[in-house]
């Protein structure tokens, strides 16, 4: 009995994905839920688990190929007694005699002379190229198509993809962009060219927040089971400020301005594949503990590449923190279709003038980049001032001042 292994369903906004890695090969015995392959889309990498125990009968999609939602990637057959943990080439041969369309990545496909020349000259990996000739042979036109469509993932250690060219004495290394990076690049450019992005700066004295933290740290952790960081304060301040300046929580849709009556705050986190922005839904209704816990969870899952697309879609405002790397000041770029983003930076002790005295305060520069098409200068500045004031005196949040 043959079982299909399919690409997981993509959400509507995602058209297709790339099968980046096969973790198994034809003939391997697998258990249910064992991860068989990785499929990368613009936003996330999906893992494809085995739907049940079985032995991999055929692999229908090569690494590097484009796949659609629900497409069949491979087939599993029932494990025959006595063949556990042994590859079974006999089964593979029987199947390929019957299935005329199957191309396994066990056998090397025939490559026509012209195709071979192109592959050698451009240092391509033939296994990445879909052959459309008779019997799956790779034709010259398949190589041409591959070069055109190529959004090859460059595995960190793949010598066949990286080309070190020596021109004179200086080395150049050419690495194709991953699909995710390409998409990030597109969105950033889109943001920049569509919105009139300006940035206003301010600075916040973090001492009050730090004192609050120090005072209640242990009790907080004891009660809520999660550490009290800074982010929850910032998120709360942001939500408050957004309530007071609704145009910052709006987006442009055609000729309309859509004022969102909810607060979905995106928190930018780094991942090995690039920056991703998971969303805190209805952040204004979350407690500080919930915010802290969720953000911590986002961070961990981003590192492991396990954030889902739903978690990263939507959002009415974003917060980014360059301070972890040491940035003092920056001009963040907006996440379309949002109209604003708050940039947090490094907390650095600086001499400040207070009441005619010079005192040392832990200061953070804040940046608010905004879309000037719907947020005017006054609103943008006052928004940031509100955040500063709410952070420098958290009681204001309680008192709605």
- Site residues for other proteins per CB under 8 A: 100, 112-115, 117, 132-134, 137, 139-141, 144-145
Rank residues 19 and 119 by Cβ distance to other proteins and give the closer one: 119
Q: Which two tokens stand for residue 213?
A: 């933290």
Rank residues 132 and 160 by Cβ distance to other proteins and give the closer one: 132
Torsion of CA 54, 56, 60, 61, to 10 degrees: 100
Alpha-helix residue ranges (DSSP H) falling in 81-224 = 89-98, 113-121, 140-149, 179-194, 207-224
Pairing of strands 163-167, 170-174: antiparallel
Taking the CA atoms of 100, 105, 107 and 111 in sequence, report the sign of the dihedral they define. Answer: positive
Active site residue 264: no
Q: CB of residue 124 vs other proteins: minimum separation in angstroms?
A: 16
Rank residues 30 and 109 by Cβ distance to other proteins and give the closer one: 109
Rg of the Cα trace of the chain? 27
Which is the catalytic residue, given 105, 162, 260, 372? 372
Rank residues 119 and 277 by Cβ distance to other proteins and give the closer one: 119
Beta bridge partners of residue 172, listed in sequence order: 165
Q: CB of residue 114 vs other proteins: minimum separation in angstroms?
A: 4
Rank residues 143 and 366 by Cβ distance to other proteins and give the closer one: 143
Active site residue 23: no
Q: CB of residue 112 vs other proteins: minimum separation in angstroms?
A: 5
- CA 241, CA 100: separation in Å to the nearest integer? 63
Q: CB of residue 139 vs other proteins: minimum separation in angstroms?
A: 5
Q: Which two tokens stand for residue 170?
A: 């200086």
Contact (CB, 8 A) for 55 and 30 = yes
Interhelix angle 288-304/231-244, rounded to 10 degrees, is: 110
Q: CB of residue 146 vs other proteins: minimum separation in angstroms?
A: 12
Interhelix angle 207-224/288-304, rounded to 10 degrees, is: 80
Catalytic residues: 372, 376
């Amino acid at each position: 009995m043959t079982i299909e292994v399919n690409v997981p369903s993509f959400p509507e906004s995602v058209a297709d994905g790339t099968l980046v890695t096969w973790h198994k090969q034809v003939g391997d015995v697998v258990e249910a839920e064992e991860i068989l392959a990785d499929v990368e889309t613009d936003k996330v990498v999906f893992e494809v688990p085995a739907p049940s125990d079985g032995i991999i009968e055929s692999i229908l999609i090569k690494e590097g190929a484009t796949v659609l939602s629900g497409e069949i990637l491979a087939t599993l057959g029932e494990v025959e007694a006595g063949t556990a943990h042994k590859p079974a080439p006999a089964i593979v041969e029987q199947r390929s005699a019957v299935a005329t369309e199957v191309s396994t990545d066990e056998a090397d496909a025939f490559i026509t002379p012209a195709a071979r020349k192109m592959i050698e000259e451009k240092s391509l990996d033939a296994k990445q190229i879909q052959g459309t000739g008779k019997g799956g042979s790779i034709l010259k036109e398949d190589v041409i198509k591959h070069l055109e469509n190529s959004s090859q993932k460059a595995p960190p250690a793949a010598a066949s993809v990286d080309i070190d060219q020596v021109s004179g004495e200086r080395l150049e290394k050419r690495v194709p962009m991953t699909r995710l990076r390409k998409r990030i690049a597109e969105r950033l450019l889109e943001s920049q060219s569509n919105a009139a992005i300006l940035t206003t700066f301010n600075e916040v004295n973090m001492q009050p927040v730090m004192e609050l933290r120090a005072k209640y740290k242990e009790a907080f952790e004891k009660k809520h089971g999660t550490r009290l960081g800074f982010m929850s304060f910032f998120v709360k301040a942001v939500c408050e400020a957004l309530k007071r300046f609704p145009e910052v929580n709006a987006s442009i849709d055609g000729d309309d301005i859509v004022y969102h009556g909810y607060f979905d705050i995106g928190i930018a986190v780094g991942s090995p594949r690039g920056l991703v922005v998971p969303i805190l839904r209805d952040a204004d209704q979350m407690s500080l503990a919930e915010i802290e816990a969720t953000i911590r969870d986002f961070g961990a899952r981003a590192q492991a590449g396990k954030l889902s697309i739903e978690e990263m879609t939507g959002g009415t405002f974003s917060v980014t923190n360059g301070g972890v790397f040491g940035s003092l000041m920056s001009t963040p770029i907006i996440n379309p279709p949002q109209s604003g983003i708050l940039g947090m930076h490094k907390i650095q002790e600086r001499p400040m003038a207070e009441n005619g005295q010079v005192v040392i305060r832990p200061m953070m520069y804040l940046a608010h980049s905004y879309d000037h098409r719907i947020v005017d200068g006054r609103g943008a500045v006052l928004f940031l001032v509100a955040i500063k004031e709410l952070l420098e005196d958290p009681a204001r949040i309680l008192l709605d001042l």
